[in-house]
Structures are given as structure tokens and as C-alpha cells.
Amino acid sequence: MPCGDCTACCTSSQFVHIEPDEEDTLAHVPKELLSTAPGLPGGHVLMGYDEQVTGTR
């Protein structure tokens, strides 16, 4: 996924919050990396870390 100037998140075991209106981002993130964001309204997800996927940045 294109991260622009991003320098951490998916390569340092952090979770990335993705809002429901970020349709382009959601279209590029593998579904197996997404999970429901606790404490937020429906549609908000977190992208988790996966060392096998991060090389595709």
C-alpha cells in the first residue's frame, strides 16, 4: 500500500486506524490485516502488522 512519507506503523508492530470513508486505502489493504477498532463506531478498523505483507509498501 502506498504510504507516502510514513516511516513506522506497519513495520514496527503498530496498528493503523482506518476510517470508513478511506475507501481507497481500504481497497489496498489485505482483508486479513483488518480488524474492528474497539471503542469506535462501526466501519472503523485497524490495520495490523504482518511481516510477510510489509515488504509490499
- pLDDT tens, 5-49? 766 666 667 788 899 999 998 998 888 889 999 999 999 999 887
pLDDT band at 50 (very low <50, low <70, confident <90, very high): low
The full set of domain ranges for the chain reads 9-56
Distance CA 19, CA 23 (A): 8
Contacts of 42 (CB under 8 A, 6+ apart): 20
Q: How many CB atoms lie within 10 A of CB 52?
A: 7
The strand order across the sheet containing 16-18 reads 16-18, 45-47, 34-36
pLDDT tier for residue 51 given thresholds of 50, 70 and 90: low
Predicted pLDDT at 47:
87
* The three cell numbers locating residue 37: 477498532
Q: pLDDT at residue 56 above 50?
A: no
